[in-house]
Structure 1
Amino acid sequence: MSDYYDLFLAVDLPPDLPEPVLLELRWLLGEADMPTEPRSTDWESWGGPWQAFDGGSASHAFAGADVSLLVRAVDRANLDGGEPWALTVRTCVHEDAFGVMMEVVGWLLRHATTRGWVGFVRDSGAGQVRHLVRHEDGFGLVDVHPVGQEKRVPWPSR
């Protein structure tokens, strides 16, 4: 039996997100045609590109649905008046695609303005939950443990 990962992300992106990034993000969400040269990861090494954040169906391995939504945060304008993009993604990831999905998440987080907690990853096999935490050098997966027993696992793990 294969393991699956329940991936949840909630981030803000700058109001002036470059058009190529916005177009690729819309494609990843299943809202647009594939860009000529997707840059979110080296898709060819993974057998070709797919819409990694496409939602709208029941989750394959977890309760609930895989969903994705990108909207303007009109009620949370920046100090300069710009309206950031607000993105939420919940998707089921097969263990064979986990590496490429984390590369896509890294690409996305390089464009995000959110710092600190940005989501979680839950393993269907062990039921382990890891928080996704964005920091100045990228992001990390932080194991969930009782207070005082935190163990940080950097991505990519070596």
Structure 2
Amino acid sequence: MGDLYAVDLALNLRATVPNALVDELRWHLGATPGAGSGPSGAPVGGPVEEVALLDDVFPLLAERGPAARIGGLVTGELHRTGAGWALTARQEVHAESLPDLDPLLEQLARHSGTEGVIGQIRFYEDHVPDLLISESGSLVRLSLRPDGSGTAPAYPPGQP
């Protein structure tokens, strides 16, 4: 039995998203050299609250190519649009990395220009995902299982 989760994200970020979060997101997507550093390796500034995940050991959305367990491809793209940024990512995330992913998902929901479903997460052996929803800037998780049970941590953290 494995411990991988399929994480799918598709959302727009408002033009007002802090540069520090965009830089951190680029790092998670594998587009910059290190967490908290720009292309030259110099630190990126921004309020501490807005710097998403400076202590990550590795990028969470950087894998590309055939998926090992969830089928299809793993990918991740961030593009500038006239209204801000467009993000699409599909990744296999190990259960031990979910606590590292949670703060990033919360930041994305906070700055999302997409109201409603921004993604989904499911244990790779399950058939039914939990929806990730941006509701007034907060991340909400909705289990689609009839009994309401989900296999990954609940959102917001610390609440049942």
- TM (normalized to structure 1)? 0.77
- Matched residues in 2 for 1:136 and 1:84: separation? 18
Counterpart of 2:53 in structure 1: which amino acid? T
Aligned ranges 1:5-154 → 2 under 5 Å: 5-34=5-34, 35-36=36-37, 39-41=51-53, 43=55, 48-73=56-81, 82-136=82-136, 138-145=138-145, 154=155
For residue 105 of structure 2, give the secondary structure of its aligned residue in structure 1. Answer: helix
Distance 1:114 1:135, change over 3 A: same
CA-CA distance at 1:126 after TM superposition: 3.7
More deviation, 90-99/120-129? 120-129
Sort the Cα spacing of 1:13 and 1:63 in 2 relative to 1 into closer, same or farther, 3 A: same
Query: Any stretches of 5+ residues in structure 2 without a counterpart?
Result: 38-42, 45-50
Structure 1 residues without counterparts, runs of 5 or longer: 74-81
Q: 2: CA distance between counterparts of 1:96 and 1:150?
A: 23
Deviation per residue, 1:80-131 (Å, 9 max, x gap): xx43211001100111111211222112222222111111111124444101
**Number of residue pairs the alignment of both structures matches:** 144
d(CA) in 1 for partners of 2:148, 2:30: 36
Deviations 1:56-97 (A, max 9, x none): 222222101110011133xxxxxxxx4321100110011111
Q: Secondary structure at the match of 1:154?
A: coil
The 1:127/1:49 distance shift into structure 2, 3 A limit, reads: same
Percent identity (aligned): 24
Q: Is the 8 A contact 1:55 1:91 kept in 2?
A: yes
Q: CA RMSD of the aligned region, Å?
A: 2.5
Q: Distance in 2 between matches of 1:16 and 1:141?
A: 24
